[in-house]
Amino acid sequence: MKSNGSVYVAVVFAVLIGYFTYQWWFNPARAVKRRLGEVAATLSVPAGDSEAVRVTRLAQLRRYFAEDIHVRAGASGPEISSRDLILAAIAGWTPSAGGRDVQFVDVQITVDSDTSARAYLTVEVTSPDGQARRPTVDAREANVLLAKRNGEWVITSAESKETLTRP
């Protein structure tokens, strides 16, 4: 009896470990979420960031974007359709002296197939303001499309969306 009980406990334990390992490592939705987290972390700039670190960060971002990426600011806003142009725009996005923190919150992921996924999220950018006591916070909704290329999830399209619309 005692040895049977131990076997059952071991089996349940193994199943639980297998489930959580799958959820954490192999589940495509988790993999997409992890990739988006990496993108947000790379877009964030700590205070006093050096030029060398900045260049490294841009090189990292290149890995996360598809070559034919499309980025649009709002439904009627300008569209950029090249990875190099996006990276140039990000390089020119100079943070304040206190840096900036980029977070993707309320991320909702839909995996359409083994190689494509969609994410609907809120982008929150926090920048410490030297004059005001509190940091400046800007938030926008965004729809992001991702594709799996060469075994890696990359962003193929990103479009910000206005929560409050006006004519």
Stretch of 2-10, 32-40, 81-89, 138-146 lying at the interface with other proteins (CB under 8 A): 138-146
Nearer to other proteins, 99 or 120 (CB): 120
Nearer to other proteins, 17 or 105 (CB): 105
Residue 159 touching other proteins (CB under 8 A):
no
Residue 163 touching other proteins (CB under 8 A):
yes
- Residue 99 neighbours by CB under 8 Å, 6+ apart: 44, 45, 46, 47, 48, 49, 127, 128
**Residue 57 to residues 27, 62, 117, Cα–Cα distance (Å):** 27, 9, 24
DSSP state of 8: H
152-161, strands of its sheet edge to edge: 79-80, 65-73, 152-161, 136-149, 116-127, 101-113
Q: How many CB atoms lie within 10 A of CB 89?
A: 11
Chain residues 92-111 in contact with other proteins, contact rule CB under 8 A: 105-108
Chain residues 29-68 in contact with other proteins, contact rule CB under 8 A: none
Is the CB of residue 143 less than 8 Å from the CB of residue 120? yes
Stretch of 28-36, 45-53, 62-70, 140-148 lying at the interface with other proteins (CB under 8 A): 140-148
Residue 130 touching other proteins (CB under 8 A):
no
Number of amino acids touching other proteins (CB under 8 A) = 21
What is the DSSP track for 27-44?
-HHHHHHHHHHHHHHHH-
Question: Minimal distance in Å, beta carbon 120 to other proteins?
Answer: 5
Residue ranges in contact with other proteins by CB under 8 A:
105-108, 120-122, 124, 132, 134, 137, 139-142, 162-167
